[in-house]
C-alpha cells in the first residue's frame, strides 16, 4: 500500500507530501489522518508525519521507496474535510499545513526527533522538597547559579500542581534541567494523582428548561428556524448582561440534539470554570466533553478520544475546542464573542470566529455569537445584514440594570484625598458592609503590575531577555517576567547607582488590598489576579469562597468580570478606568468600553439593585458616557465613524509582518528589505507603512520590527503577498524569521 505523507517540519518550503510504503502487516491499521513515524532525509532519526492519502493501486515507483516505521495514533482524528480546513488555515494565516493540523490533533504529542519519546512520555508531577527559604538562600549564595535552574525553581515556588509537561511545554525548560534539579535534591518527581474529573466532582442537580421570557422566546424561535432547515447561518445575540443568553444557548442545544446533530460551545478561557460548566452539565448530564488548557494533557487526550468515538454530543471549551473531532455539527455557539482570547496569539494566529464560520458553512450548521458588547466588526456585519441580529434589552428574572455613576477624581484631589479609593467609593463600601452585601473592586491588569525601581536614579528592574519591567511578587520577594518566566531574587541594591533605596512602584491589586484594609480593618477581602490564580482551579476556588463564605470585598483584574452570577454583589467599584482609556491603538477604545461595561454588569444581577462607581479624571469621556447610559449603540456609532475615517477594520484588513532575530541592526535591515519589496510595483492595491518597533521591542532575547500593510484582502492580494514573501525569503538573512498576523487585535 502506498501512503502520501505530510512531514512535520517547521521549514515552510517543505509543505509537500512524500510517498512511503506501508508494510503488509500494518495495512489494516492504515487510515487517512493517522500519524506515522518515518525516516526522512539523510539522518537516521525518525520524524513524525501524517497520512493524507492512501492508495492500493499505484504505479511501480521509479526509485526505491522507504517503508513507514510505525503508527503513532491508534485512531485517526482527522478526515478529508479537516485536511481541507488545515489547508485553508495555512493559506489564510500564512503558516504551514502541519502547524494547522496540530490544532486538530490531541495535545501532548509533540515530537522532537524520535518517535519513541512520543509514546513513552507519561505525565508526572514535580514537587519541591526544599523550603522556599532554603532555595532562596542557595540562590543568594550562588549555590544555584544556572539561570534555567533559578527559573524552574522560582516557578515551582509559587505554583501548585506543576506537571512535567507544563514546564517543558509552557516554560521551554528541558528535561535535563529538571533532572539536574532532582539530582541536586531540590525537587522530586511523583506519579500524578488520579486526576480529578471535572464532571464527577460536580454534584449537579439535573435542571429542566426555564420558561423563556418573551425576549428569549423570540430569539430561540428565530434561530431555531435555521437549525430545523439545516441551513448555514450566522446569528448575533446582542443581549445586556444578565439578559439570560445562557438559557437561550441551552434551549438551542436541545433543539439541535433533537435533530440528531451535535453542538460546540466556546467560552473565553478565563470563564471556563466549574460555574460555567455546571450550567450545561445540569441540563445535559455526561453528554458533554470539556476541553480546557488547565486540564492535564492526559485528560485532554481522553476527552478527544471520547469525542472522536462519538460518546458525546456536546463539546464545551476555550478557543481550541473549535477543532474538536466532533462530526455532524449542527450548532456552534461562541459566548462573549468580543473576548480577545478568541484570537490566537501564537502561530497559527487564527481568528476563532473565522474558523467557526468556515466549519459551519461546510456542515450547514448555525453559528451563534453572543455578547453584551459585540466586537465592532461583528456588530457592523449584523447591521449590514451578513449576520442576523437578535436583541435582548432587559435582564431576565426581573433584575434591573445597575445605576452607573462617574466619580471625578479631580474633586477628591481638591479635598486632599490621596488614597486610590475615592471618598464616594469609600462611603458606598461602608454602606454595603452595613447591609451585609458584597462589593467587587476592579483594577485593570495592564499598567498596574507592580515593579521595582530605584528611588535615587529611577532605574527600573527590567527583564534581561525582554523589553519589559519584571513584576514584583511581594509575597515571596520575587521578580518575575510574565513574558518569558525569567525570575530573580528581589535585589536590594540598584545596579546602576548602588543606592539601597529600592521601592516597588505603582498601584497593584496587592497595594489596593493594603489600602482597603487600612480604611476598613475588620472586613474580609479576597484578591484575584495573575498572581493568585496560577494554580489549577485557583480561580474557581476564589470565586466559590467569595460567593459562599460571604466575603465582603473581592479585588481583581479583568478576570472578575467573566461569567459568574453573584446575587449578593450590589456594588462594583472601578478604580483603574483611566489606564484603560489611555491606551492608544486602534482597538483600545473597543476593549476599554467592553471591559468597563462588562465589569459594571456584575452588579445587581439578582433581586437587589446594583450600583457601579467608576473613578476617573476624565468624566466627559465618550466611552464612559456610553457605559453610564448602558448604551452600546451610542458607543458603536462613534467608534465605527472613527474606524471609517482613519481606515481600520472592518473597513480595511491589516497584515502585520513581524521580522525578528537576535541582532537589532540585522532585524532593522531585513525589515527595510521587506518594506522595499512590498512597496515595489504596488499599483495602489494596498498601503505599506514604514518599519516600526512594536510596544515591546525585545522578547525572549529576540528583537522585533513590524511592517504593516493595509488592504482589502482578496485572492489577488493574497497571491501578490505570497509572491512578495517568496522574494523576501530568498533575500533575508538566514537567522531572521518572519511571522504574519492577519488583523491583529492590537498593534
CB 737 within 8 A of CB 661: yes
Q: Is 483 in the site for Zn ion (CB under 5 A)?
A: yes
For residues 325 and 264, what is the distance between their CA atoms, to the nearest angstrom?
11
For ligand ADP, which stretch binds (CB under 6 A), given 124-132, 143-151, 239-247, 490-498? 239-247
Cell digits of residue 50: 501524517
396's contact among Zn ion, ligand ADP, none, with CB below 5 to 8 A by partner kind, is ligand ADP
**How many residues in the shown chain lie near Zn ion by CB under 5 A?**
15
Site residues for ligand ADP, 565-594, by CB under 6 A, read 565
Residue 132: which residues within 8 A CB-CB, separation 6 or more?
Answer: 157, 476
Local structure of residue 64 (DSSP, 8 states)? P
Residue 25: which residues within 8 A CB-CB, separation 6 or more?
Answer: none
486's contact among ligand ADP, Zn ion, none, with CB below 5 to 8 A by partner kind, is Zn ion
Pick from 456, 537, 544, 618: which binds Zn ion (CB under 5 A)?
456
For ligand ADP, which stretch binds (CB under 6 A), given 60-68, 219-227, 242-250, 733-741? 242-250
Nearer of residues 394 and 700 to ligand ADP, judged by Cβ: 394
Q: Which residues pair with 451 in a beta bridge?
A: 505
Cell digits of residue 208: 429542566
Q: Is 462 in the site for Zn ion (CB under 5 A)?
A: no
Pick from 8, 234, 246, 594: which binds ligand ADP (CB under 6 A)?
246
Residue 587 Cβ vs ligand ADP, minimum distance, rounded to whole Å: 23
496's contact among Zn ion, ligand ADP, none, with CB below 5 to 8 A by partner kind, is Zn ion
Residue 505 Cβ vs Zn ion, minimum distance, rounded to whole Å: 13
Site residues for ligand ADP, 191-210, by CB under 6 A, read 210
246's contact among ligand ADP, Zn ion, none, with CB below 5 to 8 A by partner kind, is ligand ADP
For residues 634 and 381, what is the distance between their CA atoms, to the nearest angstrom?
17
Q: Which residues pair with 391 in a beta bridge?
A: 238
Residue 211 Cβ vs ligand ADP, minimum distance, rounded to whole Å: 6
**How many residues in the shown chain lie near ligand ADP by CB under 6 A?**
16
Pick from 178, 237, 366, 454: which binds Zn ion (CB under 5 A)?
454
Nearer of residues 244 and 691 to ligand ADP, judged by Cβ: 244
Dihedrals phi, psi of 280, to nearest 5 degrees: -80, -40
Closest CA to 269 of 224, 331, 322, 220: 322
14 by Cβ neighbours in 10 Å (0-12 / 13-18 / 19+) ranks as: middle
Nearer of residues 241 and 616 to ligand ADP, judged by Cβ: 241
Residue 402 Cβ vs ligand ADP, minimum distance, rounded to whole Å: 13
How are beta strands 2-7 and 46-55 bridged, if at all?
antiparallel
497's contact among Zn ion, ligand ADP, none, with CB below 5 to 8 A by partner kind, is Zn ion
243's contact among Zn ion, ligand ADP, none, with CB below 5 to 8 A by partner kind, is ligand ADP
CB 220 within 8 A of CB 614: no
459's contact among Zn ion, ligand ADP, none, with CB below 5 to 8 A by partner kind, is Zn ion
Question: DSSP letters of 603-670?
Answer: TT-SSS--EEEEEES-TT-HHHHHHHTT-HHHHHHHHHHHHHHHT-TTSSEEEEEEEEES-HHHHHHH
210's contact among Zn ion, ligand ADP, none, with CB below 5 to 8 A by partner kind, is ligand ADP
Give the count of beta carbons closer than 10 Å to the beta carbon of residue 620: 9
Residue 279 Cβ vs ligand ADP, minimum distance, rounded to whole Å: 8
Q: Is 173 in the site for Zn ion (CB under 5 A)?
A: no
Q: Is 499 in the site for Zn ion (CB under 5 A)?
A: yes
For Zn ion, which stretch binds (CB under 5 A), given 156-164, 458-466, 519-527, 545-553? 458-466
216's contact among ligand ADP, Zn ion, none, with CB below 5 to 8 A by partner kind, is ligand ADP
Sheet holding 288-291, edge to edge: 288-291, 314-317, 262-266, 329-335, 366-371, 233-239, 388-392
For Zn ion, which stretch binds (CB under 5 A), given 34-42, 272-280, 465-473, 649-657? 465-473
Nearer of residues 132 and 465 to Zn ion, judged by Cβ: 465
Q: Is 486 in the site for Zn ion (CB under 5 A)?
A: yes
CB 171 within 8 A of CB 151: yes
Residue 370 Cβ vs ligand ADP, minimum distance, rounded to whole Å: 7
Q: Is 339 in the site for ligand ADP (CB under 6 A)?
A: no
Pick from 33, 242, 268, 691: which binds ligand ADP (CB under 6 A)?
242
SS3 annotation, 474-526: HHHCEEECCCCCCEEECCCCCCCCCCCCEEEECCCHHHHHHHHHHHCCCCCEE
Nearer of residues 284 and 461 to ligand ADP, judged by Cβ: 284
Q: Is 242 left (phi over 0), alpha (psi -120 to 50) or beta?
A: left
For residues 284 and 255, what is the distance between their CA atoms, to the nearest angstrom?
12
CB 364 within 8 A of CB 232: yes
Site residues for ligand ADP, 414-473, by CB under 6 A, read none
> Taking each helix axis from N to C terminus, what angle separates 715-731 and 664-679, rounded to the nearest 10 degrees?
140
Closest CA to 600 of 406, 448, 337: 406
Residue 412 Cβ vs ligand ADP, minimum distance, rounded to whole Å: 32
565's contact among ligand ADP, Zn ion, none, with CB below 5 to 8 A by partner kind, is ligand ADP
CB 31 within 8 A of CB 68: no
Closest CA to 409 of 689, 138, 616, 643: 616
Residue 464 Cβ vs Zn ion, minimum distance, rounded to whole Å: 7
Site residues for ligand ADP, 344-403, by CB under 6 A, read 396-397
Q: What is the contact surface with Zn ion in residues (CB under 5 A)? A: 454, 456-457, 459, 463, 465-466, 481, 483-484, 486, 494, 496-497, 499
- Residues that bind ligand ADP in the complex, under the rule CB under 6 A: 210-213, 216, 239, 241-247, 396-397, 565
Amino acid at each position: 500500500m502506498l501512503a502520501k505523507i505530510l512531514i512535520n517540519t517547521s521549514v515552510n518550503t517543505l509543505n509537500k507530501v512524500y510517498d512511503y510504503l506501508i508494510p503488509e502487516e500494518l495495512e489494516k491499521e492504515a487510515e487517512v489522518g493517522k500519524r506515522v513515524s518515518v525516516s526522512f532525509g539523510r539522518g537516521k532519526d525518525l520524524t513524525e508525519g501524517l497520512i493524507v492519502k492512501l492508495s492500493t493501486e499505484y504505479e511501480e515507483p521509479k526509485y526505491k521507496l522507504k517503508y513507514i516505521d510505525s503508527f503513532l495514533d491508534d485512531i485517526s482524528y482527522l478526515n478529508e474535510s479537516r485536511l481541507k480546513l488545515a489547508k485553508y488555515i495555512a493559506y489564510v494565516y500564512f503558516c504551514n499545513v502541519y502547524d494547522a493540523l496540530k490544532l486538530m490533533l490531541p495535545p501532548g504529542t509533540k515530537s522532537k526527533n524520535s518517535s519513541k519519546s512520543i509514546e513513552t512520555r507519561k505525565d508526572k508531577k514535580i514537587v519541591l522538597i526544599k523550603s522556599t527559604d532554603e532555595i532562596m538562600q542557595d540562590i543568594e549564595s550562588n549555590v544555584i547559579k544556572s539561570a534555567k535552574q533559578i527559573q524552574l525553581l522560582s516557578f515551582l515556588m509559587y505554583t501548585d500542581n506543576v506537571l512535567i509537561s507544563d514546564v517543558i511545554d509552557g516554560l521551554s525548560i528541558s528535561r535535563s534541567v529538571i533532572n539536574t534539579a532532582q539530582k541536586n535534591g531540590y525537587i522530586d518527581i511523583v506519579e500524578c494523582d488520579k486526576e480529578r474529573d471535572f464532571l464527577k466532582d460536580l454534584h449537579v442537580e439535573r435542571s429542566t428548561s426555564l420558561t423563556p421570557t418573551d425576549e428569549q422566546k423570540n430569539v430561540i424561535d428565530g434561530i431555531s428556524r435555521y437549525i430545523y432547515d439545516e441551513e448555514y447561518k450566522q446569528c448575533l445575540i446582542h443581549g445586556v448582561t444578565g439578559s439570560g443568553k445562557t438559557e437561550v444557548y441551552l434551549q438551542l442545544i436541545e433543539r439541535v440534539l433533537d435533530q440528531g446533530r451535535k453542538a460546540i460551545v466556546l467560552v473565553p478561557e478565563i470563564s471556563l470554570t466549574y460555574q460555567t460548566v455546571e450550567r450545561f452539565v445540569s441540563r445535559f448530564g455526561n453528554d458533554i466533553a470539556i476541553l480546557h488548557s488547565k486540564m492535564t494533557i492526559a485528560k485532554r487526550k481522553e476527552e478527544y478520544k471520547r469525542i472522536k468515538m462519538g460518546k458525546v454530543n456536546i463539546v464545551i471549551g476555550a478557543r481550541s475546542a473549535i477543532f474538536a473531532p466532533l462530526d455532524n455539527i449542527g450548532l456552534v455557539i461562541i459566548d462573549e464573542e468580543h473576548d480577545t482570547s478568541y484570537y490566537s496569539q501564537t502561530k497559527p494566529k487564527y481568528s476563532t470566529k473565522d474558523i467557526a464560520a468556515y466549519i459551519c458553512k461546510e456542515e450547514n450548521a448555525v453559528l451563534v455569537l453572543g455578547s453584551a458588547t459585540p466586537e465592532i466588526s461583528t456588530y457592523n456585519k449584523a447591521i449590514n445584514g451578513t449576520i442576523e441580529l437578535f436583541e435582548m434589552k432587559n435582564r431576565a428574572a426581573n433584575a434591573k440594570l445597575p445605576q452607573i455613576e462617574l466619580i471625578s477624581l479631580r474633586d477628591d484631589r481638591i479635598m486632599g484625598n490621596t488614597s486610590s479609593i475615592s471618598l464616594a467609593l469609600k462611603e458606598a463600601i461602608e454602606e454595603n458592609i452595613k447591609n451585609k452585601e458584597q462589593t467587587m473592586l476592579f483594577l485593570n491588569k495592564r499598567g498596574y503590575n507592580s515593579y521595582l525601581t530605584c528611588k535615587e536614579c529611577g532605574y527600573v528592574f527590567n527583564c534581561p531577555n525582554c523589553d519589559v519591567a519584571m513584576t514584583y511578587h511581594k509575597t515571596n520577594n520575587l521578580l518575575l517576567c510574565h513574558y518569558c518566566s525569567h525570575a530573580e531574587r528581589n535585589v536590594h541594591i540598584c545596579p546602576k547607582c548602588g543606592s539601597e533605596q529600592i521601592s516597588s512602584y505603582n498601584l497593584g491589586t496587592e497595594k489596593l488590598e493594603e489600602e482597603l484594609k487600612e480604611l476598613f480593618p475588620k472586613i474580609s477581602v479576597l484578591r484575584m489576579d495573575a498572581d493568585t490564580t496560577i494554580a489549577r482551579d485557583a480561580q474557581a476556588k476564589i470565586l466559590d469562597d467569595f460567593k459562599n463564605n460571604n466575603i465582603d470585598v473581592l479585588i481583581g483584574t479583568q478576570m472578575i468580570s467573566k461569567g459568574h452570577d453573584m446575587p449578593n454583589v450590589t456594588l462594583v467599584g472601578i478604580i483603574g478606568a483611566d489606564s484603560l482609556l489611555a491606551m492608544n491603538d486602534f482597538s483600545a477604545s473597543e476593549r476599554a468600553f467592553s471591559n468597563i461595561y462588562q465589569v459594571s454588569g456584575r452588579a445587581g444581577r439578582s433581586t437587589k439593585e446594583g450600583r457601579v462607581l467608576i473613578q476617573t479624571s476624565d468624566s466627559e469621556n465618550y466611552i464612559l458616557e456610553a457605559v453610564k447610559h448602558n448604551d452600546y449603540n451610542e458607543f458603536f456609532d462613534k467608534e465605527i465613524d472613527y474606524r471609517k475615517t482613519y481606515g481600520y477594520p472592518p473597513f480595511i484588513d491589516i497584515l502585520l509582518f513581524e521580522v525578528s532575530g537576535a541582532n537589532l541592526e540585522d532585524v532593522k535591515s531585513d525589515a527595510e528589505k521587506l518594506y522595499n519589496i512590498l512597496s515595489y510595483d504596488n499599483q495602489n492595491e494596498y498601503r505599506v507603512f514604514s518599519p516600526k518597533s512594536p510596544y515591546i521591542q525585545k522578547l525572549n532575547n529576540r528583537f522585533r520590527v513590524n511592517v504593516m500593510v493595509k488592504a482589502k484582502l482578496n485572492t489577488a492580494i493574497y497571491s501578490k503577498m505570497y509572491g512578495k514573501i517568496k522574494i523576501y525569503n530568498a533575500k533575508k538573512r538566514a537567522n531572521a524569521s518572519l511571522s504574519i498576523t492577519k488583523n491583529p487585535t492590537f498593534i
